[in-house]
Structure 1
């Protein structure tokens, strides 16, 4: 049986792959790329940088949550990352694919990696007693809040984007 800590590290890797998929495919979708360009000229370099930073934050949350001296709150960091990833499947990716009647940037890794690995993190963390079901329910609104900050992250990337300074 794979423990919640190993699943958490697998999720950090899946999260990085997911962000890479989004960065590599976003520009191929004219509607999305046009909105990004018109709303502040987020160039490819800024998009790549944004995705790298977001991936690094996910990995940092997993690192803090799974290493060092044990603490009651630490397992909730990777659980929160898993919650963000699960919500990320349900909120933008699947509806975007339905609206596009096909592929949407990030869909393959969201459904193929983040969904099953995120579920495995949460199930194993609860099964092993690292997080309580009640604590997990309290973590999900925080995960939703983190996901809702995505537009702020894009705005910050635009501010540092070469094209956004024009």
Structure 2
């Protein structure tokens, strides 16, 4: 076995912590009729309305088709609406509805409470250190992912030119 209980290190702890936070937030958002994935769209739009489906997919780091299905769900729930973007009949901007604006305050309370509980007992200094470390880890992983993409692209290009 590659990983057993005695080898559960940083990666395991990061994964499990993120899983538990997602589970906690999902459980707390459920009475509001909202999932974490749906909330992520509302959160993005609360900072900048009128984004296109493509722009939302980039910000969520998901495929356009996945973002489209998620946007469809949130729109059916009455929290967002699509509006035409002037000058481009093919692209629609996504906007919050008044119903969503009222919901945002309740959701913000859930998120802040969950984050506070997650960081309970950590001084501001340790929280800052943790954020810095996690940002470094995220950057390292982004570089590794990009390197893998580049290597895969080069391997594919080599396969295409091999007789």
Assess same fold via TM > 0.5: no
TM-score between the two structures when normalised by the length of structure 2: 0.34
Q: Greater share of helix residues, 1 or 2?
A: 1
Larger Rg: 2
